[in-house]
Structure 1
Amino acid sequence: MIVSKKAYYLDLGKTGTSYVEDVIDRASASEFFSPKGERHRGFARRPSDRALRNMLIITSIRNPYSWYASHFTYGRKTNGRVWRTLVQQGFSDPQPDQIEPFLTAILADRLELPKRNHNNPEQAAWRNFPENLGMMTLQYVLLLDPKFLLRRRRSVADIKAWYRDNWFAPERKNLIMFGQKNLTQETVELVRENSEYFDLKPNYLEILSKIENEQADAELHKVQGIKSYKSYFSDTARFLVEHYERLLFEQFDFTFEEI
Protein backbone atom coordinates (compact mmCIF):
# COMPACT_ATOMS: atom_id res chain seq x y z
CA MET A 1 0.00 0.00 0.00
CA ILE A 2 1.20 3.50 -0.86
CA VAL A 3 -0.60 6.51 0.50
CA SER A 4 0.11 10.15 -0.27
CA LYS A 5 -2.15 13.17 -0.10
CA LYS A 6 -3.22 12.58 -3.69
CA ALA A 7 -2.76 8.90 -4.53
CA TYR A 8 -3.67 5.56 -2.98
CA TYR A 9 -2.07 2.40 -4.39
CA LEU A 10 -3.81 -0.82 -3.40
CA ASP A 11 -0.95 -3.28 -3.63
CA LEU A 12 -2.39 -6.73 -4.24
CA GLY A 13 0.44 -9.20 -3.68
CA LYS A 14 1.94 -11.00 -6.68
CA THR A 15 0.95 -8.25 -9.14
CA GLY A 16 4.34 -6.55 -9.44
CA THR A 17 3.78 -4.30 -6.44
CA SER A 18 7.43 -3.84 -5.48
CA TYR A 19 8.24 -2.78 -9.03
CA VAL A 20 5.30 -0.36 -9.20
CA GLU A 21 6.28 1.20 -5.89
CA ASP A 22 9.85 1.61 -7.12
CA VAL A 23 8.74 3.37 -10.32
CA ILE A 24 6.46 5.75 -8.43
CA ASP A 25 9.10 6.41 -5.79
CA ARG A 26 11.81 7.17 -8.35
CA ALA A 27 9.66 9.62 -10.31
CA SER A 28 7.81 11.35 -7.50
CA ALA A 29 8.94 14.04 -5.09
CA SER A 30 6.14 13.15 -2.67
CA GLU A 31 6.66 11.15 0.47
CA PHE A 32 4.65 7.98 0.26
CA PHE A 33 3.53 5.94 3.23
CA SER A 34 4.07 2.19 2.98
CA PRO A 35 4.73 0.94 6.52
CA LYS A 36 6.43 -2.37 7.15
CA GLY A 37 3.94 -5.09 7.96
CA GLU A 38 1.04 -3.33 6.26
CA ARG A 39 1.77 -4.11 2.62
CA HIS A 40 -1.06 -5.83 0.76
CA ARG A 41 -3.57 -4.86 3.46
CA GLY A 42 -5.91 -2.18 2.17
CA PHE A 43 -7.92 -1.95 5.37
CA ALA A 44 -4.82 -0.89 7.32
CA ARG A 45 -4.21 2.87 7.37
CA ARG A 46 -7.00 3.31 4.85
CA PRO A 47 -7.94 6.94 4.11
CA SER A 48 -11.47 8.03 4.89
CA ASP A 49 -14.19 7.62 2.26
CA ARG A 50 -14.33 11.39 1.94
CA ALA A 51 -10.59 11.63 1.31
CA LEU A 52 -10.70 8.80 -1.23
CA ARG A 53 -13.20 10.69 -3.38
CA ASN A 54 -10.48 13.24 -4.17
CA MET A 55 -7.61 10.79 -4.58
CA LEU A 56 -6.36 8.72 -7.48
CA ILE A 57 -6.96 5.09 -6.50
CA ILE A 58 -4.87 2.62 -8.45
CA THR A 59 -4.17 -1.09 -8.35
CA SER A 60 -2.14 -3.45 -10.46
CA ILE A 61 -3.64 -6.59 -11.96
CA ARG A 62 -2.15 -9.75 -13.38
CA ASN A 63 -3.28 -12.68 -15.48
CA PRO A 64 -5.05 -14.94 -12.93
CA TYR A 65 -3.20 -18.02 -14.22
CA SER A 66 0.13 -16.34 -13.49
CA TRP A 67 -1.13 -14.97 -10.17
CA TYR A 68 -2.01 -18.40 -8.80
CA ALA A 69 1.11 -19.98 -10.31
CA SER A 70 3.23 -17.33 -8.60
CA HIS A 71 1.59 -18.09 -5.26
CA PHE A 72 2.22 -21.79 -5.88
CA THR A 73 5.89 -21.54 -6.82
CA TYR A 74 6.71 -18.83 -4.27
CA GLY A 75 4.92 -20.72 -1.51
CA ARG A 76 6.68 -24.00 -2.18
CA LYS A 77 10.05 -22.27 -2.32
CA THR A 78 9.75 -19.94 0.67
CA ASN A 79 6.89 -21.36 2.75
CA GLY A 80 4.95 -18.13 2.15
CA ARG A 81 1.86 -17.10 4.08
CA VAL A 82 -0.71 -18.67 1.76
CA TRP A 83 1.23 -21.93 1.54
CA ARG A 84 1.87 -22.00 5.28
CA THR A 85 -1.82 -21.51 6.03
CA LEU A 86 -2.77 -24.33 3.68
CA VAL A 87 -0.33 -26.70 5.35
CA GLN A 88 -1.72 -25.74 8.76
CA GLN A 89 -5.17 -26.71 7.48
CA GLY A 90 -3.95 -30.17 6.47
CA PHE A 91 -2.92 -29.58 2.86
CA SER A 92 -0.24 -31.89 1.46
CA ASP A 93 1.45 -31.49 -1.91
CA PRO A 94 1.36 -34.89 -3.63
CA GLN A 95 2.39 -33.52 -7.04
CA PRO A 96 5.23 -31.02 -6.67
CA ASP A 97 5.16 -30.03 -10.35
CA GLN A 98 1.39 -29.74 -10.67
CA ILE A 99 -0.75 -26.88 -9.42
CA GLU A 100 -4.11 -28.67 -9.44
CA PRO A 101 -4.08 -29.88 -5.78
CA PHE A 102 -3.08 -26.39 -4.67
CA LEU A 103 -5.90 -24.77 -6.63
CA THR A 104 -8.40 -27.32 -5.37
CA ALA A 105 -7.40 -26.53 -1.79
CA ILE A 106 -7.41 -22.78 -2.20
CA LEU A 107 -10.50 -22.42 -4.41
CA ALA A 108 -12.79 -25.44 -4.12
CA ASP A 109 -11.98 -26.37 -0.51
CA ARG A 110 -11.36 -22.76 0.63
CA LEU A 111 -8.58 -23.72 3.02
CA GLU A 112 -6.54 -20.54 2.56
CA LEU A 113 -8.32 -18.59 5.27
CA PRO A 114 -9.26 -20.62 8.36
CA LYS A 115 -12.48 -19.40 9.92
CA ARG A 116 -11.30 -19.37 13.52
CA ASN A 117 -10.50 -15.74 14.21
CA HIS A 118 -13.75 -13.79 13.99
CA ASN A 119 -11.92 -10.53 14.70
CA ASN A 120 -9.82 -10.77 11.54
CA PRO A 121 -11.46 -8.59 8.83
CA GLU A 122 -10.01 -10.65 5.99
CA GLN A 123 -11.41 -13.88 7.39
CA ALA A 124 -14.78 -12.30 8.09
CA ALA A 125 -14.88 -11.01 4.51
CA TRP A 126 -14.01 -14.46 3.16
CA ARG A 127 -16.95 -15.93 5.07
CA ASN A 128 -19.31 -13.42 3.44
CA PHE A 129 -17.88 -13.97 -0.04
CA PRO A 130 -19.60 -16.29 -2.56
CA GLU A 131 -18.19 -19.80 -2.41
CA ASN A 132 -17.90 -20.08 -6.19
CA LEU A 133 -15.71 -17.02 -6.68
CA GLY A 134 -11.97 -16.96 -6.12
CA MET A 135 -9.41 -15.33 -3.88
CA MET A 136 -8.15 -12.86 -6.48
CA THR A 137 -11.64 -11.49 -7.07
CA LEU A 138 -12.10 -11.28 -3.30
CA GLN A 139 -8.90 -9.34 -2.70
CA TYR A 140 -9.80 -6.44 -5.00
CA VAL A 141 -13.08 -5.96 -3.14
CA LEU A 142 -11.39 -6.28 0.23
CA LEU A 143 -8.65 -3.79 -0.65
CA LEU A 144 -10.99 -1.10 -1.96
CA ASP A 145 -14.12 -1.52 0.13
CA PRO A 146 -13.74 -3.90 3.10
CA LYS A 147 -17.00 -2.70 4.65
CA PHE A 148 -18.93 -4.09 1.68
CA LEU A 149 -17.95 -7.62 2.66
CA LEU A 150 -18.20 -7.12 6.39
CA ARG A 151 -21.85 -6.06 6.43
CA ARG A 152 -23.48 -9.32 5.30
CA ARG A 153 -23.13 -12.39 3.11
CA ARG A 154 -22.89 -11.50 -0.58
CA SER A 155 -24.04 -13.28 -3.75
CA VAL A 156 -22.23 -13.54 -7.08
CA ALA A 157 -24.66 -10.94 -8.44
CA ASP A 158 -23.71 -8.60 -5.58
CA ILE A 159 -20.00 -8.93 -6.36
CA LYS A 160 -20.55 -8.52 -10.09
CA ALA A 161 -22.57 -5.35 -9.46
CA TRP A 162 -19.89 -4.06 -7.10
CA TYR A 163 -17.20 -4.48 -9.75
CA ARG A 164 -19.44 -2.83 -12.35
CA ASP A 165 -20.03 0.17 -10.10
CA ASN A 166 -16.44 0.49 -8.93
CA TRP A 167 -13.42 -0.78 -10.87
CA PHE A 168 -15.23 -1.20 -14.17
CA ALA A 169 -17.37 1.94 -14.15
CA PRO A 170 -16.23 4.31 -16.95
CA GLU A 171 -17.39 7.34 -14.99
CA ARG A 172 -15.13 6.47 -12.04
CA LYS A 173 -12.15 8.33 -13.44
CA ASN A 174 -10.22 8.18 -10.17
CA LEU A 175 -10.19 4.35 -10.13
CA ILE A 176 -7.61 2.67 -12.36
CA MET A 177 -6.58 -0.97 -12.83
CA PHE A 178 -3.35 -1.33 -14.79
CA GLY A 179 -0.66 -3.87 -15.66
CA GLN A 180 -2.83 -6.22 -17.68
CA LYS A 181 -0.28 -6.81 -20.45
CA ASN A 182 2.96 -4.90 -19.86
CA LEU A 183 3.58 -3.78 -16.29
CA THR A 184 6.48 -1.45 -17.08
CA GLN A 185 4.77 0.31 -19.96
CA GLU A 186 1.45 0.65 -18.17
CA THR A 187 3.03 1.89 -14.92
CA VAL A 188 5.06 4.51 -16.77
CA GLU A 189 1.99 5.60 -18.74
CA LEU A 190 -0.03 5.78 -15.53
CA VAL A 191 2.46 8.19 -13.97
CA ARG A 192 2.82 10.28 -17.13
CA GLU A 193 -0.92 10.62 -17.68
CA ASN A 194 -1.73 11.36 -14.03
CA SER A 195 1.19 13.58 -13.15
CA GLU A 196 -0.90 15.92 -11.01
CA TYR A 197 -1.46 13.15 -8.46
CA PHE A 198 2.18 12.23 -7.97
CA ASP A 199 3.95 15.57 -7.44
CA LEU A 200 6.63 14.51 -9.87
CA LYS A 201 10.24 15.59 -9.88
CA PRO A 202 11.21 18.22 -12.49
CA ASN A 203 13.09 15.58 -14.50
CA TYR A 204 10.41 12.89 -14.20
CA LEU A 205 10.13 12.37 -17.97
CA GLU A 206 13.83 11.60 -18.11
CA ILE A 207 13.46 9.20 -15.16
CA LEU A 208 10.53 7.39 -16.77
CA SER A 209 12.41 7.05 -20.06
CA LYS A 210 15.35 5.58 -18.18
CA ILE A 211 13.04 3.05 -16.51
CA GLU A 212 11.67 2.01 -19.91
CA ASN A 213 15.20 1.59 -21.27
CA GLU A 214 16.21 -0.47 -18.25
CA GLN A 215 13.30 -2.82 -18.82
CA ALA A 216 14.07 -3.13 -22.53
CA ASP A 217 17.66 -4.02 -21.67
CA ALA A 218 16.48 -6.56 -19.09
CA GLU A 219 14.30 -8.23 -21.72
CA LEU A 220 17.30 -8.56 -24.04
CA HIS A 221 19.28 -10.31 -21.32
CA LYS A 222 16.43 -12.38 -19.98
CA VAL A 223 17.54 -15.77 -18.71
CA GLN A 224 16.36 -18.55 -20.98
CA GLY A 225 15.22 -21.98 -19.91
CA ILE A 226 13.13 -20.90 -16.92
CA LYS A 227 10.22 -23.27 -16.46
CA SER A 228 7.03 -21.88 -17.94
CA TYR A 229 3.98 -21.52 -15.72
CA LYS A 230 2.02 -23.33 -18.44
CA SER A 231 3.68 -26.60 -17.52
CA TYR A 232 2.03 -26.62 -14.09
CA PHE A 233 -1.53 -26.58 -15.42
CA SER A 234 -3.71 -29.56 -16.22
CA ASP A 235 -7.04 -29.04 -17.95
CA THR A 236 -8.75 -29.24 -14.57
CA ALA A 237 -6.40 -26.65 -13.09
CA ARG A 238 -7.14 -24.28 -15.96
CA PHE A 239 -10.87 -24.79 -15.44
CA LEU A 240 -10.59 -23.98 -11.73
CA VAL A 241 -8.90 -20.64 -12.41
CA GLU A 242 -11.27 -19.74 -15.24
CA HIS A 243 -14.35 -20.64 -13.21
CA TYR A 244 -13.50 -19.02 -9.90
CA GLU A 245 -12.01 -15.86 -11.42
CA ARG A 246 -14.60 -15.57 -14.20
CA LEU A 247 -15.54 -11.98 -13.31
CA LEU A 248 -11.98 -10.89 -14.10
CA PHE A 249 -11.83 -13.00 -17.26
CA GLU A 250 -15.10 -11.42 -18.41
CA GLN A 251 -13.62 -7.95 -18.11
CA PHE A 252 -10.09 -8.54 -19.39
CA ASP A 253 -8.89 -10.56 -22.36
CA PHE A 254 -6.53 -12.75 -20.36
CA THR A 255 -5.42 -15.91 -22.13
CA PHE A 256 -3.58 -19.02 -21.02
CA GLU A 257 -1.17 -18.75 -23.95
CA GLU A 258 0.29 -15.43 -22.76
CA ILE A 259 1.52 -16.62 -19.36
Structure 2
Amino acid sequence: MSQADKARAFADLHRKGDPVVLFNIWDAGSAKAVADAGAKALATGSWSVAGAQGYGDGEALPLDLLETIVRRITATSELPLSVDFEGAYATGPTGVGKNIARMIAAGAVGVNFEDQKVGGTGLYPVAEQAARIGAARAAAEDAGLPFFINARTDLFLKDREPANHPALIGEALARARAYTDAGASGIFMPGLKTPELIEQAVEAVELPLNILIMPGVPEPEELAALGVARISYGPGPWRDMMAWVTERAGKIYGV
Protein backbone atom coordinates (compact mmCIF):
# COMPACT_ATOMS: atom_id res chain seq x y z
CA MET A 1 0.00 0.00 0.00
CA SER A 2 1.40 3.38 -0.97
CA GLN A 3 1.75 6.23 1.50
CA ALA A 4 -1.12 8.04 -0.22
CA ASP A 5 -3.30 4.94 0.06
CA LYS A 6 -2.46 4.70 3.75
CA ALA A 7 -3.34 8.37 4.22
CA ARG A 8 -6.73 7.88 2.57
CA ALA A 9 -7.38 4.73 4.60
CA PHE A 10 -6.48 6.58 7.80
CA ALA A 11 -8.83 9.45 7.01
CA ASP A 12 -11.64 6.99 6.23
CA LEU A 13 -11.33 5.50 9.72
CA HIS A 14 -12.57 8.76 11.26
CA ARG A 15 -16.32 8.22 11.47
CA LYS A 16 -18.69 9.96 13.84
CA GLY A 17 -20.20 7.37 16.12
CA ASP A 18 -17.75 4.69 14.97
CA PRO A 19 -14.43 6.17 16.06
CA VAL A 20 -10.93 5.05 15.25
CA VAL A 21 -9.27 4.06 18.53
CA LEU A 22 -5.57 4.87 18.85
CA PHE A 23 -3.68 3.12 21.63
CA ASN A 24 -0.66 5.37 21.41
CA ILE A 25 2.79 3.89 20.84
CA TRP A 26 6.37 5.07 21.35
CA ASP A 27 8.65 2.93 19.15
CA ALA A 28 8.71 0.15 16.57
CA GLY A 29 8.36 -2.53 19.24
CA SER A 30 5.22 -1.04 20.77
CA ALA A 31 3.92 -0.46 17.24
CA LYS A 32 4.21 -4.18 16.51
CA ALA A 33 2.48 -5.11 19.75
CA VAL A 34 -0.45 -2.78 19.08
CA ALA A 35 -0.67 -3.87 15.44
CA ASP A 36 -0.67 -7.54 16.45
CA ALA A 37 -3.52 -6.78 18.86
CA GLY A 38 -5.69 -5.73 15.94
CA ALA A 39 -5.22 -1.97 15.56
CA LYS A 40 -6.23 -0.45 12.24
CA ALA A 41 -3.83 2.49 12.58
CA LEU A 42 -0.95 3.67 14.73
CA ALA A 43 -0.28 6.94 16.52
CA THR A 44 2.63 8.04 18.65
CA GLY A 45 2.32 10.06 21.84
CA SER A 46 4.92 12.81 22.24
CA TRP A 47 5.32 12.25 25.99
CA SER A 48 5.70 8.51 25.43
CA VAL A 49 8.24 8.77 22.60
CA ALA A 50 10.32 11.30 24.54
CA GLY A 51 10.14 9.38 27.82
CA ALA A 52 11.17 6.13 26.15
CA GLN A 53 14.37 7.89 25.05
CA GLY A 54 15.01 9.55 28.41
CA TYR A 55 13.73 13.02 27.47
CA GLY A 56 10.95 15.17 28.86
CA ASP A 57 7.91 16.20 26.86
CA GLY A 58 7.71 19.56 25.12
CA GLU A 59 10.02 19.05 22.11
CA ALA A 60 12.98 18.12 24.32
CA LEU A 61 13.44 15.06 22.13
CA PRO A 62 15.70 16.13 19.23
CA LEU A 63 13.84 16.38 15.94
CA ASP A 64 16.46 14.24 14.18
CA LEU A 65 15.88 11.45 16.71
CA LEU A 66 12.10 11.73 16.35
CA GLU A 67 12.49 11.43 12.59
CA THR A 68 14.61 8.30 13.05
CA ILE A 69 11.96 6.74 15.29
CA VAL A 70 9.19 7.58 12.81
CA ARG A 71 11.20 6.06 9.97
CA ARG A 72 11.76 2.91 12.00
CA ILE A 73 8.06 2.53 12.78
CA THR A 74 6.97 3.06 9.19
CA ALA A 75 9.66 0.68 7.94
CA THR A 76 8.43 -2.13 10.18
CA SER A 77 4.64 -1.69 10.04
CA GLU A 78 2.20 -1.48 7.15
CA LEU A 79 -0.37 0.38 9.24
CA PRO A 80 -0.93 4.13 8.74
CA LEU A 81 1.03 6.20 11.27
CA SER A 82 0.11 9.56 12.77
CA VAL A 83 2.82 11.40 14.70
CA ASP A 84 2.19 13.51 17.78
CA PHE A 85 4.24 16.43 16.50
CA GLU A 86 3.53 18.93 19.29
CA GLY A 87 4.16 22.40 17.84
CA ALA A 88 6.05 21.06 14.79
CA TYR A 89 9.37 22.13 16.35
CA ALA A 90 8.90 25.60 14.89
CA THR A 91 7.17 28.89 15.56
CA GLY A 92 6.72 30.51 12.16
CA PRO A 93 4.87 29.00 9.19
CA THR A 94 8.05 28.46 7.15
CA GLY A 95 9.61 26.26 9.80
CA VAL A 96 6.35 24.41 10.32
CA GLY A 97 6.13 23.60 6.63
CA LYS A 98 9.71 22.35 6.46
CA ASN A 99 9.28 20.09 9.48
CA ILE A 100 5.96 18.69 8.32
CA ALA A 101 7.74 17.79 5.08
CA ARG A 102 10.27 15.83 7.15
CA MET A 103 7.51 13.78 8.80
CA ILE A 104 5.98 13.08 5.40
CA ALA A 105 9.35 11.97 4.06
CA ALA A 106 9.72 9.68 7.08
CA GLY A 107 6.49 7.92 6.13
CA ALA A 108 3.87 9.48 8.40
CA VAL A 109 0.35 10.05 7.05
CA GLY A 110 -0.72 12.53 9.69
CA VAL A 111 0.21 14.59 12.73
CA ASN A 112 -1.24 16.08 15.86
CA PHE A 113 -0.46 19.79 15.75
CA GLU A 114 -1.14 21.83 18.87
CA ASP A 115 -1.83 25.51 19.42
CA GLN A 116 -0.02 26.01 22.70
CA LYS A 117 3.35 27.76 22.60
CA VAL A 118 5.76 24.93 23.34
CA GLY A 119 8.39 26.19 25.74
CA GLY A 120 6.42 29.41 26.24
CA THR A 121 3.12 30.40 27.78
CA GLY A 122 -0.41 30.50 26.48
CA LEU A 123 -1.76 29.70 23.04
CA TYR A 124 -0.96 31.14 19.65
CA PRO A 125 -3.48 33.76 18.53
CA VAL A 126 -6.08 32.16 16.27
CA ALA A 127 -4.89 33.86 13.08
CA GLU A 128 -1.27 32.94 13.77
CA GLN A 129 -2.11 29.30 14.44
CA ALA A 130 -4.28 29.21 11.33
CA ALA A 131 -1.31 30.39 9.29
CA ARG A 132 0.81 27.63 10.81
CA ILE A 133 -1.84 25.05 9.89
CA GLY A 134 -1.97 26.52 6.40
CA ALA A 135 1.78 26.01 6.05
CA ALA A 136 1.42 22.38 7.13
CA ARG A 137 -1.32 21.86 4.54
CA ALA A 138 0.81 23.48 1.84
CA ALA A 139 3.68 21.11 2.64
CA ALA A 140 1.31 18.16 2.31
CA GLU A 141 0.02 19.44 -1.02
CA ASP A 142 3.58 19.89 -2.26
CA ALA A 143 4.15 16.22 -1.44
CA GLY A 144 0.92 15.21 -3.17
CA LEU A 145 -0.33 13.55 0.01
CA PRO A 146 -3.81 13.72 1.63
CA PHE A 147 -2.07 14.25 4.96
CA PHE A 148 -4.25 14.21 8.11
CA ILE A 149 -3.64 17.35 10.18
CA ASN A 150 -5.27 16.80 13.56
CA ALA A 151 -5.46 20.38 14.83
CA ARG A 152 -5.34 20.41 18.60
CA THR A 153 -6.49 23.18 20.90
CA ASP A 154 -5.00 23.17 24.38
CA LEU A 155 -7.66 25.33 26.01
CA PHE A 156 -8.96 22.51 28.16
CA LEU A 157 -5.50 21.31 29.17
CA LYS A 158 -4.50 24.80 30.27
CA ASP A 159 -7.54 24.86 32.58
CA ARG A 160 -8.31 21.30 33.67
CA GLU A 161 -11.26 22.16 35.90
CA PRO A 162 -14.39 20.87 34.11
CA ALA A 163 -16.53 23.46 35.90
CA ASN A 164 -14.69 26.15 33.93
CA HIS A 165 -15.06 24.48 30.54
CA PRO A 166 -18.50 25.86 29.62
CA ALA A 167 -16.88 29.29 29.56
CA LEU A 168 -14.16 28.00 27.20
CA ILE A 169 -16.24 26.04 24.69
CA GLY A 170 -17.08 29.13 22.63
CA GLU A 171 -13.43 29.94 22.05
CA ALA A 172 -12.66 26.29 21.36
CA LEU A 173 -15.33 26.15 18.66
CA ALA A 174 -14.14 29.44 17.14
CA ARG A 175 -10.64 28.00 16.95
CA ALA A 176 -12.01 24.81 15.41
CA ARG A 177 -13.74 26.81 12.68
CA ALA A 178 -10.60 28.81 11.92
CA TYR A 179 -8.44 25.69 11.87
CA THR A 180 -10.92 23.98 9.56
CA ASP A 181 -10.75 26.89 7.13
CA ALA A 182 -6.94 26.80 7.29
CA GLY A 183 -6.75 23.19 6.13
CA ALA A 184 -7.10 20.97 9.20
CA SER A 185 -8.44 17.45 8.73
CA GLY A 186 -9.65 16.89 12.29
CA ILE A 187 -10.04 18.74 15.59
CA PHE A 188 -8.51 17.50 18.85
CA MET A 189 -9.82 18.78 22.20
CA PRO A 190 -7.79 16.98 24.89
CA GLY A 191 -8.97 17.68 28.40
CA LEU A 192 -12.62 18.10 27.42
CA LYS A 193 -14.54 15.69 29.67
CA THR A 194 -18.17 16.74 30.09
CA PRO A 195 -20.53 14.67 27.90
CA GLU A 196 -22.78 17.64 27.15
CA LEU A 197 -19.85 19.76 25.96
CA ILE A 198 -18.39 16.90 23.93
CA GLU A 199 -21.75 16.45 22.21
CA GLN A 200 -21.97 20.20 21.60
CA ALA A 201 -18.53 20.15 20.00
CA VAL A 202 -19.42 17.15 17.82
CA GLU A 203 -22.50 18.96 16.54
CA ALA A 204 -20.73 22.28 15.97
CA VAL A 205 -17.46 21.05 14.45
CA GLU A 206 -17.52 20.12 10.79
CA LEU A 207 -14.45 17.88 11.04
CA PRO A 208 -13.98 14.62 13.00
CA LEU A 209 -13.59 15.30 16.73
CA ASN A 210 -10.80 13.64 18.73
CA ILE A 211 -11.07 13.14 22.50
CA LEU A 212 -8.28 11.99 24.83
CA ILE A 213 -8.87 9.22 27.35
CA MET A 214 -7.97 10.49 30.82
CA PRO A 215 -9.51 10.39 34.29
CA GLY A 216 -13.04 11.78 34.22
CA VAL A 217 -13.56 11.27 30.47
CA PRO A 218 -16.50 9.06 29.43
CA GLU A 219 -15.75 5.49 28.43
CA PRO A 220 -15.06 4.84 24.72
CA GLU A 221 -18.53 3.40 24.18
CA GLU A 222 -20.14 6.58 25.48
CA LEU A 223 -17.78 8.75 23.43
CA ALA A 224 -18.84 6.83 20.34
CA ALA A 225 -22.50 7.37 21.21
CA LEU A 226 -21.80 11.10 21.53
CA GLY A 227 -20.47 11.14 17.98
CA VAL A 228 -16.73 11.29 18.61
CA ALA A 229 -14.75 10.11 15.56
CA ARG A 230 -11.31 9.52 17.12
CA ILE A 231 -10.27 8.32 20.56
CA SER A 232 -6.67 8.61 21.76
CA TYR A 233 -4.98 7.11 24.81
CA GLY A 234 -2.07 9.55 24.84
CA PRO A 235 0.71 8.80 27.34
CA GLY A 236 -1.46 6.35 29.30
CA PRO A 237 -0.13 3.12 27.71
CA TRP A 238 3.50 4.17 28.22
CA ARG A 239 2.87 5.21 31.82
CA ASP A 240 1.16 1.91 32.55
CA MET A 241 4.04 -0.03 31.00
CA MET A 242 6.64 1.90 32.98
CA ALA A 243 4.67 1.33 36.17
CA TRP A 244 4.60 -2.41 35.41
CA VAL A 245 8.34 -2.49 34.75
CA THR A 246 9.05 -0.56 37.95
CA GLU A 247 6.84 -2.86 39.99
CA ARG A 248 8.40 -6.03 38.59
CA ALA A 249 11.93 -4.72 38.99
CA GLY A 250 11.09 -3.65 42.54
CA LYS A 251 10.08 -7.22 43.38
CA ILE A 252 13.36 -8.52 41.99
CA TYR A 253 15.53 -5.98 43.76
CA GLY A 254 13.51 -5.87 46.96
CA VAL A 255 12.54 -2.22 46.68
Query: Shorter-chain TM-score category?
Result: under 0.3
Q: Is the strand fraction higher in 1 or 2?
A: 2
Of structures 1 and 2, the larger Rg is shown by 1
Q: Which has the higher contact order (CA 8 A, sep 6+)?
A: 1
TM-score normalised by the chain length of structure 1: 0.27
TM-score normalised by the chain length of structure 2: 0.27
